[in-house]
Amino acid sequence: MNSRLLHTSIGGALLLAGFISTNVYAQDSKTDTVIKRGELICGTDNTKPGFGYLNPKTGKLEGFDVDYCHAMAAGILGDGNKVKMIALTDKNRFNALQNGEVDVVFFHTTVTATRATAVGADFLPVNFYDGTGVLVKKADKIAHIADLNGGTICTTQGSTTEAVWADYIKSHKWEKTTQVLTYQDLDKLFAALNGGRCNAMTTDKSALVGWKGNAPKPDDFDILPETISKEPLAGFVRQDDQKWHTALAWIVYALVEAEELGITSKNVAEMAKDPNPDIQRFLGTEGDLGKDFGLAPDFIQKVIAATGNYGEIYDRNVGPSTPYSIARKGSLNDLWTRGGLMYSPPFR
């Protein structure tokens, strides 16, 4: 190919790329809708202690996923309190999004191929690495999953755990001996275990830790040692809005990047004065980062001030000072600099 044709070809490709990019971002976006509305509508759970839980003492939703709803509101609207929480279930969380009842969902949801294709969920970055586990009553003296052959195992309807157990039972040839019952939510599931309807309650291990820690007598329960699946958890939006997905995805990344940079809810205002160009760009004191997302220049400052960084969210909801005390050090949920998988792409 001669230089003139090469120049024409490259120019055409760049023009096409520019057209595609402009066309995608020119359409009406949920970003603009939410900013005009002045309120984010976020779907979450209200039955998972530590993640999405309606605290009977305060009457308020709280938890890891709930904090992510507040973080998104802070980034988009500049105020973490400008959010309306909608309690969903495992069964209706995807329909609620597709029907437009919510703008985004943070619901302890596993990223899977089927959900990213047939179900139509556009997943945000993973914010918690988990796996399927089993909770049993200590009095039943069940030590391992193998001891459940011939028993009744209970889980939630419409969850990945239901599919995990269908595969596990089939692969271990337990079809004729073992029964699986499903319930609408974890409240009913835990009641079934307590009432003797089930020999075991199964879902993501982090949720089991929450229920055990929140029980009147936590020592009455055991979480079995085995983990029988990988469950990377993430928020999700609809697949028809690249601008919206991009803005929320980078807010998720910002929480991790802030922890890596040592920026917290307590020092974010002071860190905004730091001469380090990476920090200036990240916090919006220099550059066009906010403008590129269609957000305020200091949107990341608002996020960190509202919820703290990833480590602060983790510690506040499931860390060592909580009843759940889910170990982070040495786990997949630690920063990549400490051997974990929490890693943000560069903000440049």
Task: Confirm whether 20 is domain-assigned.
Answer: no
Residue 122 resides in a domain: yes
In a domain, 3, yes or no: no
Domain boundary among 207, 230, 253: 230
Shared domain for 212 and 261, answered yes or no, is: no
99 found inside a domain: yes
**Phi, psi (rounded to 5 degrees) for 315:** -65, -40
CB 220 within 8 A of CB 137: yes
Q: Considering only CA atoms, which of 272, 235, 267, 237 is closest in space to residue 71?
A: 235
- Check: CB of residue 125 under 8 Å from CB of residue 251: no
The structural domain count of the chain equals: 2
Both 225 and 315 in one domain: the answer is no
Give a yes or no: residue 242 inside a domain. Answer: yes
Structural domain contains residue 2: no
- Residue 348 inside a domain? The answer is no
Tell me, yes or no, whether 114 and 262 share the same domain: yes
Nearest to 299 by CA among 275, 273, 268: 268
Nearest to 202 by CA among 219, 190, 184: 190
Q: Which CATH number covers residue 279?
A: 3.40.190.10
Q: Within this chain, do residues 184 and 101 fall inside the same structural domain, yes or no?
A: no
Distance from first CA to last CA of the chain, Å, rounded? Answer: 35
CB 193 within 8 A of CB 200: yes
Torsional sign, CA 109, 231, 62, 192: positive
Q: Are residues 56 and 171 in the same domain?
A: no
Q: Do 159 and 169 have their domain in common?
A: yes
Domain limits for position 177: 131-230
Shared domain for 95 and 142, answered yes or no, is no
Each of the 348 residues of the chain gets a pLDDT tens digit; together they read: 444 343 433 344 333 334 333 344 446 899 999 999 999 999 999 989 999 999 998 999 999 999 999 999 999 999 999 999 999 998 899 999 999 999 999 999 999 999 999 999 999 999 999 999 999 999 999 999 999 999 999 999 888 899 999 999 999 999 999 999 999 888 899 999 999 999 999 999 998 998 898 888 999 999 999 999 999 999 999 999 999 999 999 999 999 999 999 999 999 999 999 999 999 999 999 999 999 999 999 999 999 999 999 999 999 999 999 999 999 999 999 999 999 999 999 998
Let me know whether 260 and 121 are in one domain.
Answer: yes
d(Cα 201, Cα 13) in Å, to the nearest integer?
55
Q: Which of 230, 247, 274 is the last residue of a domain?
A: 230
189 and 207 together in one domain: yes
Contacts of 277 (CB under 8 A, 6+ apart): 286
Is residue 1 included in any domain, yes or no?
Answer: no
Q: Which of 125, 123, 102, 101 has its CA nearest to residue 114?
A: 123
Taking the C-alpha atoms of residue 346 and residue 348, their distance in angstroms, rounded to an integer, is 6
Task: Look at residues 209, 230, 251 and tell me which one is the last residue of a structural domain.
Answer: 230
Q: Are 202 and 294 part of one and the same domain? A: no
Residues 250 and 332 reside in one and the same domain: yes
